[in-house]
Amino acid sequence: MTAEAVGKTAAEATEKTKDVPPSNHAESEDENEEGEEDVVDAPANGEVKKKKKKKKPKKKKASVQQSEPPRVGLTKLFPDGNYPEGELQDYKDDNAWRTTSEEKRYNEKMAMEDPEVTYNNIRRAAEVHRQVRKYARKFIRPGMSMTEIAEGIEDGTRALVEESGLESGIGFPTGVSLNHCAAHYTPNAGDTVVLQQGDVLKVDFGVHVKGRILDSAFTMTFEPTYDKLLEAVKAATDTGVREAGIDVRLGDIAGAIQETMESYEVEVGGQVFPVKPIENLSGHSINPYQIHGGKSVLLVKNDDATKMEEGEYFAIETFGSTGRGRVIEQGDCSHYARVLNPPNAQLRYTTAKSLLRSINKNFGSLPFCRRYLDRAGESKYLLALNHLVQQGIVQDYPPLCDARGSMTAQFFLHGFTV
């Protein structure tokens, strides 16, 4: 999500508003601008009358339409470079005065580069996400492999954002976590997992423009059993966005999220399960080229007195579970990221040095997965990759799972600038 100059914003806070297609009509610059002309008519009786000459109809170029699957770059759909705004939310209660404060506008500008440049980059990434997400909801169906799903989303993202090195591209690996697995699963090469009719699928993918990472996720089911679980995480996210803003304490936002989440329950086979917020997952701040910026918005009430501040950018995300409400690392790792300021470690393997150069060139500090290394032409890199992890240069992010047999859901918005 992006924040506009005033108040707090939640870009496309609901799927209903997010998935409304834009009207991308590019009109011709040489449209007939000729106005109405006065024509003097002199009839026989000597009276002078004026007649209006009809306008010629304006000529329009054919509007550029998105393809299906989406492959038309966004700059072709929005040639003027102005991308749709997200949903704007006004400050409330004791914070309402910020809406008209010139001082606070100035502070915001000092806290970041030109806000309009920043917002437009985020809006561009958000519109890419919206269009790809809309298509993903249509094409994802039981019977598809996880690899088909992930690569279908990534192909659309790369095309629409017009991938260009570290200037624009995928923000982080496409998560397609299933059932009790809440996050950080994407298929590695050779993965044979297939989506089933009864699965609960979390789709989490990112887009970045000039390092401004657009982070958003949604959950899909194909039967009604877990509809209330999905409803719970969406309502909890909406609550978190509504309560967020400059000077708000992160622990207070967490308490509001928990209260909303725990007001839901799910009935499965005649047994009722309370929906629990996953206590050791969280939303987070986002810095340029850094997906986890240092501040966390937990999902259960706590005493964290840290405040949101001017110019900060957050992912407000929630995870709900029918299980224990706590995740552990489990399964084959696929997600990695080079740390922002890596230590000056002595690398024993030439292959590790070579792999690090490739990571720096292709991803920098952006998260990546093993499939992305394959795509970059790397091979037989696991030993080198594990060595980089052991030396603290690369951080690994294994899948995060609740108790087997439980179901988890995730929902969050594009990011939130304050």
Specify binding-site residues for substrate: 184, 292
Asked if 182 and 202 touch (Cβ cutoff 8 Å), the reply is yes
For the record, the structure tokens of 234 come out as 């969406």
With residues binned 3-state (H G I as helix, E B as strand, rest as coil), the percentages for the chain, rounded to 5, are 30, 25, 45
**402 Cβ contact list (under 8 Å, min separation 6):** 180, 181, 182, 278, 321, 323, 324, 325, 326, 327, 408
The Cα-based distances of 331 to 191, 384, 400 in angstroms read 12, 20, 8
Annotated binding site: 184, 204, 215, 284, 292, 317
Helix or strand run (H / E) with residue 151? helix 146-161
For the record, the structure tokens of 357 come out as 């150069």
Q: State how far Cα 67 lies from the chain centre.
A: 21
Asked if 151 and 375 touch (Cβ cutoff 8 Å), the reply is no
Asked if 288 and 279 touch (Cβ cutoff 8 Å), the reply is no
Query: Following CA atoms 365, 209, 129, 180 in sequence, which dihedral angle do they give, to the nearest 10 degrees?
Result: 10
Asked if 281 and 249 touch (Cβ cutoff 8 Å), the reply is no
CA gap 402, 297 in Å, rounded = 20
- In degrees, rounded to 5, the angle at the alpha carbon of residue 370 between the alpha carbons of residues 317 and 410 is 15
Annotated binding site for a divalent metal cation: 204, 215, 284, 317
User: Quick one: which of 84, 72, 86, 83 has its CA closest to 161?
Assistant: 72
